[in-house]
Every structure is written in structure tokens, then in C-alpha cells.
């Protein structure tokens, strides 16, 4: 009887282990919820999961950086429009039909446009000024490495439209000032703004490619991880029910053995 009891308790322990394992797997949705379910498989899966997390963070980094670059690009686009307006004003001033009053009016408009350029340069993203000369650029961190995106100085001084004292270097109302020189100053500033816009556009294009690569890598790794550790819930549920049945049978067997022992003891005492 003792031998049979040992077998029954052993069967009960195995059934309990099976029930607990199935419950743990179903609750986590994983074949290897811990190293005890398969040390090497667990390590491989956790490594995959870690890499998936890195890819997902890399995607967020590229998206955040793109949002920053969009902010800078928008401000630079406004500056390009402002510089185009300045150029038109200077060409207008070069026309011989303008009198001194006309030139003064044009100069006033030039001053307002230069002020607008400085407003454009004061744009911020997440508390950071981007194109006022105080920010040399940003670094985009990702699983495939780091990329640096440079920012230029898009203030009126940085573009050569004003001197260090804030005085305009473009003055169509001053007869001593060469309008051709003024036009050259604005053309040079326009080239700088367009160069910055082009650089940012190229950087954004690169970030879009990176985001697509990270997304593809993440999707492929998730598919591989699902094959490795993805649990077949239906199949595991069948195993759970089977283990629960085995546990009930073991408990029934143990109870039956205990009843038999009681009867045996009672018979012996009765004799």
C-alpha cells in the first residue's frame, strides 16, 4: 500500500506542476515565461525582445527628430519667403522712378522684413532654440548608429543682413549705399537659407529611410520571436485541462487509498 501511495503522490505532484506551468504560460502568452521552462530558449527570446525594444525606441527617436526638423524647416521656409520679399524690394528700389519718399517707404518695409527674419530664427522645439546660432545641431540615436543634423544661424546677423549692433546692412534710402551691394547681400543670405533648407530636407529624407528600416527590422524580429516564444493558447488550454484531469484522478486515487487504509485499520481493531 505504501508503494502505491508514493506513486499516487508522485502523480499528483506531476499533475500540479503541469497545471501551474500551463497557467503560467497562458497568463503570459509565452512558451518560456522564465528560464526554468528552457534556459537557452528563454535567453534567446529575451535577447530578441530587447532588440525589438531598441528598434521601437529608434523609431520614436527618428519620429521625434523629424518633428524637430519640421519645426526648423517651417521657420526657414518663412525666412526664404522673407528674403525673396527683400530681394523684390531692392529691385524695386533700383528703379529710377522712385523718389526719396518712396525709398524711405521701401526701407521701412525692409526693416519690418528683417525683424520677421529674426522672429523666424527664434523658433523653439521642446524648449530648445533651433536656428538662432545657439544650437549647433541634434543627434539622432538608433540601433544602426548615430546621425548628426547641423543647424545654421538664421538670424539677420547670421545671414549678414544686420551688423553686430543690429543696424541693417541693406539700406536703399541711403544714397551712399550701393543697391547692387545690397542685392548681393540678400542673394548671399538667400543662398545660405536655401542651403540650410536643403540640408534639413536631406536629413529628413534620411530619417524617413531609417524609420522604414527600423520598422522592417522590428516587424521581422517580432515575427521570429512569435515563432520562438509565441504560445498556442488553444493547445496549451487542452494541456491544462488534461493536467487538471490528471490531478483530480490522483486526488481521487489518494482518497481511495486512504479510505482503504482506514477500513483495514478498523477491521484489525475489530478483530
Q: What pLDDT digit, counting tens, does each position of 5-31 carry?
A: 555 667 767 766 666 666 766 766 666
> In 3-state terms, what secondary structure has residue 72?
helix
12 shares its domain with 140: no
Domain total in the chain: 2
The predicted-structure confidence for 174-189, as pLDDT tens digits, reads as follows 776 788 899 999 999 9
Closest CA to 21 of 11, 36, 42: 36
Q: Is residue 64 predicted with pLDDT exceeding 50?
A: yes
3-state secondary structure of 38: coil
Where does the chain have alpha helices with state H? 2-28, 39-93, 100-121, 179-229, 233-270
Angle of CA points 260, 262, 264, to nearest 5°? 70
pLDDT class of 4 with cuts at 50, 70, 90: very low
Question: Are residue 112 and residue 24 in the same domain, yes or no?
Answer: no
94 and 160 within one domain: yes
Distance from C-alpha of 154 to C-alpha of 137, rounded to nearest angstrom: 13
User: For residue 87, what pLDDT is reported?
Assistant: 94
Query: Which long-range contacts does 218-224 make (Cβ < 8 Å, 24+ apart)?
Result: 218/52, 218/55, 218/56, 218/59, 221/48, 221/51, 221/52, 221/55, 222/52, 224/48
What is the C-alpha to C-alpha distance for residues 84 and 105, in angstroms, rounded to an integer? 18
- Say if residue 265 is in the same domain as residue 244: yes
Write the CB contacts of 222 (distance below 8 Å, at least 6 apart in sequence): 52
Assess if residue 94 is contained within a domain.
yes
pLDDT grade, residue 140 (50/70/90)?
A: confident
Same domain, 92 and 223: yes
What is the extent of the structural domain holding 216? Answer: 73-227
State the pLDDT at residue 43: 72
Residue 237, pLDDT > 90, answer no
Task: Verify that 146 and 177 share a domain, yes or no.
Answer: yes
What pLDDT sits at residue 218?
Answer: 86
CATH of the domain at 205: 1.20.1330.10
Pair (17, 127) in one structural domain: no
Same domain, yes or no: 203 and 237 = no
Q: Which residues contact 205 (CB under 8 A, 6 or more apart)?
A: none
pTM score, two decimals? 0.68
Amino acid at each position: 500500500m505504501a508503494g502505491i501511495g508514493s506513486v499516487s503522490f508522485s502523480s499528483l505532484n506531476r499533475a500540479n506542476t503541469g497545471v501551474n506551468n500551463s497557467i503560467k504560460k497562458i497568463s503570459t502568452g509565452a512558451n518560456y515565461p522564465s528560464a526554468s521552462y528552457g534556459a537557452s530558449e528563454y535567453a534567446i527570446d529575451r535577447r530578441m525582445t530587447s532588440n525589438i525594444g531598441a528598434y521601437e525606441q529608434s523609431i520614436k527617436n527618428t519620429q521625434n527628430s523629424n518633428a524637430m526638423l519640421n519645426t526648423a524647416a517651417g521657420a526657414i521656409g518663412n525666412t526664404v519667403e522673407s528674403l525673396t520679399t527683400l530681394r523684390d524690394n531692392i529691385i524695386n528700389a533700383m528703379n529710377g522712378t522712385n523718389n526719396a519718399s518712396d525709398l524711405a517707404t521701401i526701407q521701412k518695409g525692409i526693416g519690418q522684413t528683417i525683424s520677421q527674419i529674426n522672429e523666424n530664427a527664434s523658433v523653439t522645439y521642446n524648449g530648445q532654440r533651433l536656428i538662432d546660432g545657439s544650437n549647433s545641431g541634434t543627434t539622432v540615436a538608433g540601433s544602426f548608429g548615430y546621425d548628426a543634423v547641423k543647424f545654421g544661424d538664421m538670424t539677420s546677423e547670421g545671414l549678414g543682413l544686420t551688423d553686430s549692433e543690429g543696424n541693417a546692412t541693406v539700406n536703399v534710402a541711403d544714397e551712399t549705399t550701393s543697391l547692387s551691394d545690397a542685392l548681393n547681400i540678400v542673394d548671399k543670405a538667400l543662398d545660405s537659407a536655401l542651403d540650410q533648407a536643403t540640408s534639413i530636407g536631406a536629413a529628413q529624407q534620411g530619417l524617413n529611410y531609417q524609420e522604414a528600416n527600423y520598422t522592417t527590422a522590428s516587424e521581422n524580429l517580432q515575427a521570429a520571436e512569435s515563432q520562438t516564444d509565441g504560445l498556442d493558447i488553444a493547445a496549451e488550454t487542452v494541456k491544462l485541462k488534461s493536467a487538471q484531469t490528471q490531478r483530480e484522478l490522483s486526488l481521487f486515487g489518494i482518497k481511495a487509498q486512504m479510505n482503504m487504509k482506514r477500513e483495514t485499520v478498523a477491521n484489525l481493531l475489530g478483530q
